[in-house]
Structure 1
Amino acid sequence: MDDAERSDELFEKSEEEFLDKLSTVLNSAGNNLHKFVEEQPNNYLNSDLDRCLQSVEVATRKLHTNVHLLVDPVMSTKTKETIKMTELQSRYDDLYSKWQSQQRQLESTQAEIFRLKNQIMHQSTFCTSLGAVLCNLLWRASYFTQNVHVWLSGFQNKVGEFLCIVNGSFVSFINTYGDGLPSMNSDEFQFIMGLLGIVTNMSSTPEGREFLITNTNGKDLVQKLVIRISGIPLPSGNSLKRLMLMILYNVSVNQTGLQYLLELRVGEILGKCFEDSVPMELQVRALWFLQSITYDLNDATALKDILKAVPMIKIEKMTENEQDPMAPIAKEILENLEKAKATLNFDVRNSTNIN
């Protein structure tokens, strides 16, 4: 119930009370007059007419006073309620006007937001396309070691910033698309491929992999590659995973990089690289990586991880066909593992270091 309805109800209630009281007063006055008329003969006889008339006059004045006492409060209440209603109406009109103004402003703001969203979308598309083109050009340029030397000799701060961009972009790309990677020809995919391609070429040089593993952003990127490589979907992520394995292999050639990879328990991720569903090209890359981290291996935890994760039977089968280009690599891996077992006194039965 709003204020207007409560005001009307109050007035109606006051009016009913007023009518009841007025009826009581009028009935009382009528009774007095009736009594007066009945007593007139006696009044004439008693010569008391003046006194009776005075009584009637007094009763009439009293009636007039009582009527005013009843009517004035009701009229005063009605006047106050009317004023209040007028004030409420004025406030309502003001609030409604403000609401209409806010609605118009909201509509204008929504239209501006829609325009800005479209503008940002176009700018984002343009930036992604531009990034894909530039990164692919730099990828080709980084193939020449002299260019990498120039970058690292005079622009190490910028190269560090670049590795931070690669790290953030790579993680954002994987988090955004997950198992549903976009087409390899899309700007997004080409942008990430270009970034990782540059890092691959940079890490192929001694000074490049040294910088990659000693720079904070570079180490963080290597860690992200180790963590994320198992989750890259195949076959849509074949080319992406190939570059990741190449970067990790290049890092493992560096002694500091190898130690960091072993600390990251990299042996745990290699098993999935030798599954039957994995393309042969990726298995070859994984084999080269495995050969690198097992060379002069003296870490019992890493040896345990490798023996547990990598299907050794499959590695042994690779050595049976001497015509297979992977046979020499597989043979060297088995020799490295046997050497590590002997060096570490490794018990294969319970996979523990008994030193």
Structure 2
Amino acid sequence: MRLSGSRPTATLLQSSRQRRWISDGRPFAPGDLVILRQKIDRSAPPILTKPLKPGRRIEGHKGIIQHDDIIGKRVRDIVKSSTTRSTRDPTEYRLHEVTLDEYTRLSRRLVTPIYPADANLIVALLDLHPDAGETEEVAPRLEILEAGTGHGALTLHLSRAIHAQNSGIRIGSEDVDEWKAHRRAIIHTTDISSQFAAHAQTVVEGFRRGIYARNVDFHVGDVSEVLRSLQACRDTRSFLSHAFLDMPAADAHLATVADALRTDGTLIVFNPSITQVISCATKVKEQGIPLDLEKVVELGVNGGSGGREWDVRFVRPRSEEAPLRETPPSDTDTDSGHDGDASPELRSPVSAADRTWSLVCRPKVGERIVGGGFLGVWKKQRDMRAESNQPSP
């Protein structure tokens, strides 16, 4: 199910064009978001305002700040809180533009977000290079699936990463639907919960007047069903450039997602436990899903997000790989008339059907494991069977 927009289309298109940059120094206006930091105590948590509105105010233990005192001021100006206690001095706050990092951490949430350091790592693993001048004749449209919208934090980071691809679109009307029809890059984000999806849409639309909202299509429902409905509207089944799964039982959707990925497209699966990544890798191996495990990265190592890489791979036990060898006879060999223990140097051949796989799973560096989750990174393999069935030119 496609999630309809919560704001009028013309308003969203117009507001996204009212871009504010730190360098231009224009005053804050109604509808802007502002970060307030205490001038003296820099260790105090910052305050994220609601969209500025005349008559609205911010109440806290340090006093009250009127939105009217912020409107008209510029970045790094000072405002003071007012208090009813005559013995308490007013607290001074410095005004700042809201960064994407601060917005995703401080905006109201219904679920735990993917934090900025991890979101930046995920975007980096996708290795995106948007080009506003790229046409459909040069390369297919860039389409990315995010399964598990959640708070919308990663949605915003992904949309920012592809935004340049759509920056060159020029149409003669203010209709958002017409503009979307000309997009060269799209984020398809889906969540099983309509409540979470609707909240995430307001989060995405709330950052800098919805500057990145038009790049995103929100869906509600099972990810496999959403993908099949998107495939039905296209000439090819493999239309996704990349995909990211952050959901329970992600392994149940691997085959469907792989079918929708283009050759060499990246699939990243987030799991809280390394055993869940192993379950995905095992299913890919056992079912012959055309995905190649490139790496496994641990998030949140030692309180940060360095992306420590793990060694996760399938190997065959040596007993199945060793060639058939016989030990030379020795003087101690006797013919006792019964079968003894087989020589350790004798390896029986194993048929392909009887071969089993073992799994190596260990961190590549370091000893201590302090993690916030794991990313399994796969690449879509080329379908050699389909190519072999094509007629020769």
TM (norm. structure 1) is 0.23
Point out the structure with the larger strand share.
2
Point out the structure with the larger helix share.
1
Q: Which has the higher contact order (CA 8 A, sep 6+)?
A: 2
TM (norm. structure 2) is 0.22
